[in-house]
A = this chain, B = another copy of it.
Amino acid sequence: MVSDKVTAVTFATPVQELLPRVETRMHEIANTYHRDLHEALVHILASGGKRIRPVVNLLMGGALGAEVDRLVTSAAAIEMLHTATLVHDDLIDGSLLRRGMPTLNASWTPAKTVLTGDLIFSYAAVLAAETDSVRVMHLFADTLATIVNGEITQQFNSQGPASKEDYYRRIHAKTASLFEAAATAAAYLSPVDEDMIDAVRRYGYEIGMAFQIVDDVIDFAGNQDMVGKPIGSDLRQGLITLPALYYFEQNSEDISIAAAINGETLNGADLEKLVKAIRESNAIEESMKKAREFVERSLTFLHVLPDVVEKRALEELASYVVNRLR
């Protein structure tokens, strides 16, 4: 059972000493002789949030006996790849803030922002190469292709109404694929068999899916200060997420949600009303229930791990993913 209590962030404790080494790897490689660019990279790396993907990677590698130096390098590669996608995403969305801090996009030309994203991609590739594992490099290339393909699907989106099937495909590409990669890379660097690799990969998939669903719930249900952007910002940008899909299932007579599902742009007043309606509906709880199902499933894949402190931390991390709302 997923604990329903508020989970304190203690899951990173077993890798507390490795995390600064990941930061060091990232900063070493991002060293450059362009002063402005260096400051920007330091700023981007500093605004990087909780490092949950590297933590998944390090905990899994710790549980499976990965060689520590290569593991730290793979964790840095994972976070660098994540960072690169954020830089191009902010450019594409025209976002001026991320986690309450100004994006590159807010102060630089698009040319500089595109190239800085490219540079961070190249650093991720260099770090992946430095794991000296062909399988890790393959994984990186495939994961990058999956993430970008997902973004492109969204941009070229011209098919019919929004559906759960599309939603799940999109959040896999956008988020779960990198959690999968974080877990799988750790397994590739460890002396384990293919069955173990597969179980580990599926743990990453399940928590990644849960993570994005909870993000999408927070976008409706969180408070604005916490989220750092307006409530319902996805819907405002025409992006249909799970709460909106559940709301539509239960309120198909609401013409605003029907229009939004069909890709139409709502006027300001209708949009405000719809965001409020979704926020107050049980679509929020339905979505959270779905997220908890993913987390429950993720735990079943941890059974194959040895009974070590990292295993319990990975269980805690899974609970944290669905409890961080509060």
In the assembled complex, which residues on chain B have CB atoms less than 8 Å from the CB atom of A122? Answer: 141, 144-145, 147-148
Tell me the interface secondary structure of chain A in the complex. helix
Q: Are A37 and B156 in contact (CB under 8 A)?
A: yes
From B111, B129, B156, give the contact of A112 (CB < 8 A).
B156
A134–B152 Cα distance when bound, in Å, is: 29
Interface string of A127-147 (1 = CB under 8 A from B): 011101110011011101101
A152: nearest chain-B partner, CB-CB: B115
In-complex Cβ contact of A119 among B125, B140, B142, B152 (8 A): B152
**Which of chain B's residues have a CB closer than 8 A to the CB of A64?**
none
Q: Which residues of B lie under 8 Å from residue A137 when comparing CB positions? A: 128-129, 134, 137
Query: Are A148 and B115 closer than 8 Å at their CB atoms?
Result: yes
Which of B116, B132, B142, B153 lies in contact with A126, CB distance below 8 A? B142
Taken together as a complex, chains A and B put the C-alpha atoms of A115 and B151 apart, in Å, by 7
Given contacts A121-B121, A137-B134, contact A126 B112 (CB under 8 A): no
Give the contacting residue for A148; candidates B88, B118, B149; CB below 8 A. Answer: B118
Interface residues as binary, A87-126 with B (CB distance below 8 Å gives 1, 0 otherwise): 0100110000000000000000111101111110111011
A32 at the interface (CB under 8 A from B): yes
Q: Is the CB of B91 within 8 A of A114?
A: yes
A153: chain B residues at CB < 8 Å are: 34
Nearest CB on B from A35, distance (A):
9
A267 at the interface (CB under 8 A from B): no
Q: Can you list 23 A-B contacts with CB-CB less than 8 angstroms, sorted by A residue number?
A: A32-B149, A34-B153, A36-B156, A37-B152, A88-B114, A91-B114, A92-B110, A112-B156, A115-B151, A117-B118, A118-B151, A122-B147, A122-B148, A123-B145, A125-B125, A125-B144, A126-B138, A126-B142, A128-B141, A129-B134, A130-B138, A134-B137, A137-B137
